Amino acid sequence: TNTTAYRMAARFHIAEKLPILIAEKMGPHFAFGDTCYSWQEEVPVYNPDGREMIARDNEKSLLRKTDPGKAYFGCHTDITIPYEELGHIRVIRPDGGIIPIIEEGYFVLPGTEELNEPLKGLI
């Protein structure tokens, strides 16, 4: 839905009219601090198409089960980078290998090709 919102905003020139909670998610975004689901990671969350979002936890938030004081920071900040301004997003593995996620604004990780559909003709 983030990519679709980006497409519609570009197509109809309405980006500046969108609420910040939509606009801030219209591109790859990175969260610093607590997860979007702090203290609610066990609660199922679904996309509009009915698919469950399963990436709600990380190694820090899992500490809520054993040491809650170390599980959360008490803050959450999103940074969004517009697709057309992105060169690449890559993961550097512990062995030095590189896994490309996004290249030139398009998703390239196997299995993410469908996310490029709304971007065709924009980037």
User: 121 near 84, Cβ under 8 Å?
Assistant: no
Question: Can you give the residue range of the structural domain that contains 53?
Answer: 30-80
Give domain status of residue 75, yes or no. yes
Nearest Cα neighbor of 1 from 33, 46, 35 is 46
pLDDT in tens, 56-108: 788 888 999 999 899 988 998 888 888 888 889 999 999 999 999 999 989 99
Percent of the chain with pLDDT over 70: 98
Give domain status of residue 95, yes or no. no
Nearest Cα neighbor of 32 from 70, 64, 73 is 73
CA–CA gap between residue 40 and residue 17 (Å, rounded): 31
Amino acid at 25: K
Give domain status of residue 57, yes or no. yes
pLDDT of residue 35: 80
pLDDT of residue 91: 95
CA–CA gap between residue 33 and residue 31 (Å, rounded): 7
Give domain status of residue 56, yes or no. yes
Q: What is the number of structural domains in the chain? A: 1
Strand-pair category, 106-107 with 98-103: antiparallel
What mean pLDDT is predicted for residues 15-39?
83
pLDDT band at 26 (very low <50, low <70, confident <90, very high): confident
pLDDT of residue 27: 82
CA–CA gap between residue 93 and residue 87 (Å, rounded): 19
pLDDT of residue 67: 94
pLDDT of residue 122: 82
CA angle at 15 for the pair 10 and 18, rounded to the nearest 5°: 135
Give domain status of residue 111, yes or no. no
Q: Is residue 21 pLDDT above 80, yes or no?
A: no
99: how many CB neighbours lie within 10 A of its CB? 11
pLDDT of residue 1: 58
User: 100 near 88, Cβ under 8 Å?
Assistant: yes
